[in-house]
Amino acid sequence: MSTNKSNKPELRFKGFSDDWEQRKLGELLSFLKDGTHGTHADVDDGPLLLSAKNIKNGGIYWDETDRRISYGEYEKIHSNFSLESGDVLLTIVGSIGETAILKDSEGITFQRSVAFLRPNNKITPDYLYSEIQTPIFQKELDSRKSTSAQPGIYLGDLAEIPLIFSTKIDEQKKIGEYFSNLDHLITLHQRKIKYILKEVFIWIILIKRVVLKKPLSLSYRIMVGRKKLLSILQNRI
C-alpha cells in the first residue's frame, strides 16, 4: 500500500486516519532466527526437516520424499527455542522472499534457508506476511542479497529493512484479512483453471480416439481445443 510523505496511506479502510510509523523490521519482532546449520541423519519416521523449497505461494508443502530426522536431533535443534503458531517464515537462502505463516509447529523444523520472524505486540502476523510480499519489501530483500554462489541474506541485514505500518492493530487486522481473502480467491481460481485446462487437454486427446476414430493433425486438435476452452470458460467463470 503506497503512502505519501507524511506516512499516511492514500487508500484507507473507513474509520482510520492516523499517520503510520516507520520502524526497522527488527524493532517489530520479539524473535528472529534461522533454521538449523547442522548436519542431521535422515530417518524413516520422525519430525520433518524442511527447507526453502517447501515454502511457496504462501503455504508450506511437503510429501513422503521430504527429509525426516530423529526426535533426539529435533530436541537438540530446539533446545534453546521453539517454533510457535503464528510465526512468519521467510526464505533467505537460494529462493529468497517466499513467505508463509506457521499454523502448526508440531513435529516440524527447518534448515538455515528459512528464517523465523515472530511479531511483537506492535504488529500482527497477517500484516507482516502481507507486507513481505509487497514489491517494496521484495526490493529491499533483493538489494541485501549476498553475492556468493548461493544467494542469501544475513539476519542482521534482514532486521534493518524498514517497514511502514499502522499503529492501530484493528487496521492491521483488516489489511491482513483483506489480503488473506485475496490470496484464497486467487488459489481457488488457479485450481479451477487448472481443472478446466486438464479437462480440455483430455478432450483434445479423445477427439481422435473416440469421436472421429481417425488421426487428426496436432494443429487441428489445438484449434478445436481452443474453441472448447472458450466454451467452458464462458460457462464456468
Among 26-40, 46-60, 212-226, where is mean pLDDT lowest? 212-226
Average pLDDT of every residue of the chain:
81
Position 167 pLDDT exceeds 70 = yes
User: Which SS3 state, helix, strand or coil, does residue 56 take?
Assistant: strand
Position 109 pLDDT exceeds 80 = yes
pTM of the entire structure? 0.72
- Estimate the share of the chain in helix, then strand, then coil, as percent rounded to the nearest 5: 40, 20, 40
| pLDDT, greater one: 177 or 128 | 128
Which cell goes with 150? 548461493
User: Residue 63: which pLDDT band, with cuts at 50, 70 and 90?
Assistant: very high
